[in-house]
Amino acid sequence: YAQSDYMQLTKQYLPHLARLCLISTFLEDGIRMWFQWNEQKDYIEATWGCGYFLATCFVLLNLTGQLGGCVLILSRHFVQYACFGLFGIIALQTVAYSILWDIKFLMRNLALGGGLLLLLAESRSEGKSMFAGVPSMGESSPKQYMQLGGRVLLVLMFMTLLHFDPSFFSVMTQPTQVTHLLQGRHERAPVKPVTQPL
């Protein structure tokens, strides 16, 4: 009975926690835009030369779109519309912050899109089948494709943590670094802070 109660408890709270994790980046970015309103507006105005009014509209759209979408997803109201709105925010930021030419941030944006695909798949009602939650043999539903696409895109987030340096010096010194690491004499290099666009 204890195991059954534990499963019921986790089944009740884990989906909400999973949704919060998937939209945490949007939530953090929306809150940051609130506290960095002037900096964000000045950056857009200086980068695009669009003037005070359009820069303010851009920041306001980002703030309300992200926070509003997060609230709708967490409350499970109009989840599909909220996900489409957040897709639009991703596309808008990709262009506005020139992320399209930065492969690392582009991959992170694609990973955010993967998280939204998982939320979309979760919001779709499952079709009737002989066994609840188990797809029929040979059946390929759009929900399954969205789940697959979302999981593949989420892997891109972890790929941004990898650093490839194909230079000759790096290839020649790599075995020495591994040897020092195994012998316990490897000194950890300082980690450079990762900068993100405003």
Tokens of 13: 């709270």
pLDDT at 3: 63
Which tokens is 23 given? 């939209």
pLDDT, residue 98, reads 81
- Which position has the higher pLDDT, 91 or 131? 91
Best CA proximity match to 90, nearest among 6, 8, 197: 197
pLDDT > 70? residue 139: no
SS3 193: coil
- Predicted confidence at residue 169, as pLDDT, reads 47
Q: Residue 16: left if φ>0, alpha if ψ -120 to 50, beta else—which one?
A: alpha
Residue 74 belongs to some domain of the structure: yes
Least confident piece of the model among 72-76, 150-154, 177-181: 177-181
**Burial tier of 2 (Cβ tally within 10 Å: 0-12, 13-18, 19+):** exposed
Q: How far apart are CA 188 and CA 106, in angstroms?
A: 28
In a domain, 39, yes or no: yes
| Nearest to 154, CA basis, from 108, 193, 197 | 108
Q: What's residue 8's pLDDT? A: 73
Q: In this structure, is residue 108 part of a structural domain?
A: yes
Closest of 194, 157, 145 to residue 22, by C-alpha = 157
Tell me the pLDDT tens digit for each residue of 56-114. 999 999 999 999 999 999 998 899 999 999 999 999 998 888 877 878 888 888 888 98
- Asked if residue 56 is part of any domain, the answer here is yes
| Whether the predicted pLDDT of 178 surpasses 70 | no
- The answer as to whether 178 is a domain residue is no
Structural domain of residue 18, as residue ranges? 2-125+140-161
Model pLDDT for residues 15-69, shown as the tens digit of each residue: 888 889 889 999 999 999 999 999 999 999 998 888 899 999 999 999 999 999 9
CA distance 55 to 125: 39
| Mean pLDDT, range 114-129, rounded to an integer | 74
* Strand locations in 1-153 (E): none
Query: Residue 166: inside a domain, yes or no?
Result: no
The reply to whether 135 falls in a domain is: no
Please count the structural domains in the chain. Answer: 1
Task: Note whether residue 149 is domain-resident.
Answer: yes
User: Residue for token digits 């992320």?
Assistant: 99
